[in-house]
Amino acid sequence: MMERDTDILIVGGGLVGASLACALQPLGYQVTLLEAVAPRAAAQPSYDDRTLALGAASCRILAALGLWEALAAEATPIREVIVSEPGRPARVELQAARMGLPCFGHVVEARAFGAVVLAHLPTLPRLEVLCPFRAEALRHEDQSVVVEARNDVGERCTVRARLVVAADGADSAIRDLLGIKAQTHDFQQTAIIANVTPEQAHAGRAFERLTSSGPFALLPHQGQRCGLVWCVPNADAEQLLAMPEEEFLARATERAGRALGPLQKLGQRSSWALRQVVPASDQAERVLLLGNAAHAIHPVGAQGFNLGLRDIATLAEVLADQQRDGEAADPGLAAALDRYSALRRPDQQATIGWTRDMVGLFGSELALTRRARGLALGAIALLPPLQRRLASRAMGYRGHIPRLALGEPLLPDWSGYPS
């Protein structure tokens, strides 16, 4: 049996867990990353065919983590966002140039992100990766948390940490081991994702169609490709996944409102069921939930991973402030976890509520609701202050904005980074 002592144990090496490992390095903690899936970008569930729309705040966070330079070659800027509803005249057109911005953010494929972050992890001097190991038991003892894990061939390891961060997804094993109950809402929708090539160049434009059966998005990729995210009722998903390519492209073209002309080429299709998972608490003694373990949300507005990155940046900031203020460097202190939760709660609750309400609002066929949402889109289309507010929130600037999201160092007035 392997035994390890570490400062911080991250359970889950997907998008959020691996990014957190990068964020913690400047603070001098010994970090252990426990991941259940063999270390290949193609195998880790987070690094699939999804398209990640990263707001400007997220791009700044990734730059601070040392990941953006390698990602930039795979990223496509979002220069315009167009939101519409089929059969309704009002539509919102947000143009970055009109707001004095180079872009609202960038689009990156999750698989490309996985390749970059997995290549970066071995360069981190205070990180140990234990993979593939799955957490099976957890207990508290002597101001620490002990996690027991096992791999597929029965080998066991025990990790003792002062702080455990659960970044192991919506079905978090750590959350279950702690007995933290979660409220789950099934949207009765499935997201179908694929790469498509339209007839017309996207020119950095992102399109979102808000329909009664679920949102439909086309996000700009490099070249002329676009990432398609099509949310449909569960009953329709199997047919769309099995549909001949030509018929699928024709239906997707109509759903897109022919925004970029006919869709002409289709990549591999995949899907995942959509549900909202919100635990009763995001922490326990010396344990913190991050990313989808703390808030799995609907993909409308592409806020999921962006929300997780703001979690990461805020946790790193809280721990950095604790060191700067001369407090004990114990990362699992209750005061630090409570401060993190207090800082993150407004943003998390607002984002969770907004995504849920958007799905409900545009899923309603009531005449009064249809009129209300038409008026809302029309007001945003006509009023630049509302457009700027919407763009700022979509870019990740809401609530407490962590220093990394502003392009500032974790410890701006302190030169004592541990060597």
Give SS3 for 174.
helix
pLDDT at 323: 83
Higher pLDDT, 41 or 191: 191
| Closest to 149 (Cα-Cα) out of 160, 162, 140 | 160
Provide, rounded to the nearest whole percent, the portion of the chain with pLDDT above 90.
Answer: 68
DSSP code of residue 42: T
Residue 380 has pLDDT above 80, yes or no: no
| Closest to 75 (Cα-Cα) out of 110, 29, 125, 23 | 110
pLDDT at 370: 65
* Interval 207-227: pLDDT, tens: 999 888 889 999 999 888 999
Model's pTM, two decimal places? 0.91
Copy the structure tokens of residue 339.
Answer: 């401060």
Which amino acid makes up residue 42? A
Q: Do residues 376 and 387 touch, judged by C-beta distance below 8 A?
A: no
275: CB partners within 8 A, 6+ apart: 170, 184, 185, 186, 187, 296
With cut-offs at 50, 70 and 90, classify the pLDDT of residue 138. very high
Helices 15-24 and 56-64, interaxial angle, to 10°? 50
Q: What is the DSSP string of 259-327?
A: BTB-EEEE---EEEEEEEEEES-SEETTEEE-GGGT-B---TTS-HHHHHHHHHHHHHHHHHHHHHTT-
Residue 395 has pLDDT above 80, yes or no: yes
Residue positions counted in the chain = 419
Give Cα 280 distance to the centre of its chain: 20
Give the CATH fold of the 2-184+275-406 domain. FAD/NAD(P)-binding domain (3.50.50)
Q: How far is CA 83 from CA 215, 320, 376, 389, in A?
A: 10, 39, 12, 15
pLDDT at 415: 43
pLDDT at 365: 66
135: CB partners within 8 A, 6+ apart: 11, 34, 36, 147, 148, 149, 168, 173, 174, 177
Provide, rounded to the nearest whole percent, the portion of the chain with pLDDT above 70.
Answer: 90
Give SS3 for 343.
helix
Q: Do residues 109 and 74 touch, judged by C-beta distance below 8 A?
A: yes
With cut-offs at 50, 70 and 90, classify the pLDDT of residue 373. low
Side-chain-side CA neighbours of 327 within 13 Å: the count stands at 14
Q: What is the mean pLDDT of the chain?
A: 89
pLDDT at 419: 32
Copy the structure tokens of residue 97.
Answer: 């140039």
* Interval 289-326: pLDDT, tens: 999 999 999 988 788 899 999 999 999 999 999 887 66
Domain residue spans of the chain: 2-184+275-406
Higher pLDDT, 372 or 25: 25
Average pLDDT over every residue of 384-399: 85
